[in-house]
Amino acid sequence: MTGTQRREQLLDVSRQLFAEKGFEGTSVEEIASRAQVSKPVVYEHFGGKEGMYAVVVDREIQALTGTLTRALEQGGHPEALVERTALALLDYIESSTDGFRILVRDSPVAQTTGTFSSLIGDVAMQVEHLLAGQFTKRGLDPRTAPIYAQMLVGMVALTGQYWLDARRPAKTEVAAHLVNLAWNGLSNLQRNPTLLGDESPS
């Protein structure tokens, strides 16, 4: 096995273990044992568990970012945008279950620039600009677009975390329900929403 092949093998093994047991629950000894190598080989390639974890997380962040960005870049009607974004996340969860489990786990070595929450924040910033344009067209205050972008992307992300384990209903049905709530809610936004408690008694 070449050095590159060995490195990829170790990454595959550690990815599975991090998904199963988390960062704290995984040891270098276990990674080496499952890869059928000695501990020094793991240290030689990654310098330790932290280095290996950082590479695994970075790869998953890039994969998911690419998937979501491609969905957002296609443009089109906002309802179609919500649908594509929801399906893109669910597709990623389905095809990269281990990777998604790693991203949504809390870890002491996860940096603020490499966590699932920061990734969702980046996606929300892209959605924000699209929503602002729609808000202006509809006579709504575009300054509120960042709040709605966070709510919209957060709803999709949290639903994705739920579906990670439930896997029911089917992916397309989950996406349809997400779009139903998001779009039918967004399409009837009030210009100046108030809470029920703010209304004067009749």
Which pLDDT tens digit goes with each residue over 125-143?
Answer: 888 888 888 888 888 899 9
Considering the segment(s) 57-187 as one domain, its CATH architecture is Orthogonal Bundle (1.10)
- The first and second tokens of residue 197, run together, are 């408690």
Residue 109 — pLDDT band, cuts 50, 70, 90? very low
**In the chain, where are the structural domains located?**
57-187
pTM of the predicted protein model: 0.80
Work out the pLDDT band at 28, boundaries 50, 70, 90: very high
CA–CA dist 88, 72 (Å, integer): 10
Instruction: Give residue 114's pLDDT.
Output: 55
pLDDT, tens only, 64-95? 888 888 888 887 777 888 899 899 999 999 99
Mean pLDDT along residues 185-197: 84
